[in-house]
A and B are shown apart, each in its own frame.
Chain A
Amino acid sequence: QSALTQPPSASGSPGQSVTISCTGTSSDVGGYNYVSWYQQHPGKAPKLIIYEVTKRPSGVPDRFSGSKSGNTASLTVSGLQAEDEADYYCNSYTGSNNPYVFGTGTKVTVL
């Protein structure tokens, strides 16, 4: 199972929006509504920010939103804030012998 494809980097000014894509196949992203997104600050454990494509856990600001079209999922961060500067990883369930696959990660920079 190959890693899901994400852009290496994305950036935006405070208050702007940034969207990160996560491209897989019909065997993972396109086949299941089990895409999740994680935020990771340097030296810290990942934090769940989106699950089941669009749902936010309690405590995650509504500035974070998820969507999916075909084999590509997306994470949008609206109203960028300094603390949003981090690495972001997508993950998808695959239903195969390797049931979970992560994305290649995107470093978000707040200019």
Chain B
Amino acid sequence: QVQLVQSGAEVKKPGASVKVSCKASGYTFTGSYIHWVRQAPGQDLEWMGWISPNSGATKYAQKFQGRVTMTRDTSISTAYMELSRLGSDDTAVYYCAREAFPKAFDIWGQGTMVTVSS
């Protein structure tokens, strides 16, 4: 079946970086954009950016410009999101999601909890 499977939970110290992976299966990986969305504990969803698995093109939310890097490896149908210079307010669940319908996210990964703590 169509699914996105993310890497496991991470604990990082302030100032460090984290890289989360998102492995796609059950569909043509290069056929749909992958978006990244995060949700701090008890808070709302926040869109971070997208990557085109086909071309590698990216678009990031202004808030994360200079701190986020989205990449992909088409040979293993996996997208990555790396966030640097972590602070305590980056503690959140990070989701990847597929855009198969225009401007909508139809399949989501299970989420990856990233905790930033000294």
Per-residue CB contact flags for chain A residues 81-111 toward chain B (1 = under 8 Å, else 0) read: 0000000010101000111111111000000
Q: How far is the CA of A98 from the CA of B95 in the complex (A)?
A: 18
**A3-B95 contact given A45-B109, A52-B104, A98-B61, CB 8 Å threshold:** no
Can you name the residue of chain A whose Cβ is closest to the Cβ of B109?
A45
Q: Give the residues from 39 to 57 in chain B that come closer than 8 angstroms, CB to CB, to chain A.
A: 44-47
- A100's partner among B44, B47, B109 (CB-CB below 8 A) is B47
B101 contacts A48, CB within 8 Å?
A: yes
A46 contacts B45, CB within 8 Å?
A: yes
Count of residues in A whose CB is under 8 Å from the partner chain: 25
- A57's partner among B61, B101, B110 (CB-CB below 8 A) is B101
**A48-B106 contact given A97-B62, A98-B61, A98-B62, CB 8 Å threshold:** yes
- Assuming A57-B106, A102-B45, A104-B44, what are 17 further A-B pairs, CB within 8 angstroms? A3-B44, A34-B104, A38-B45, A46-B97, A48-B101, A48-B104, A48-B106, A51-B103, A51-B106, A57-B101, A91-B47, A91-B104, A98-B47, A98-B61, A101-B47, A102-B47, A105-B44
Residues of A within 8 A of B (CB): 3, 32, 34, 36, 38, 45-48, 51-52, 55, 57, 89, 91, 93, 97-105
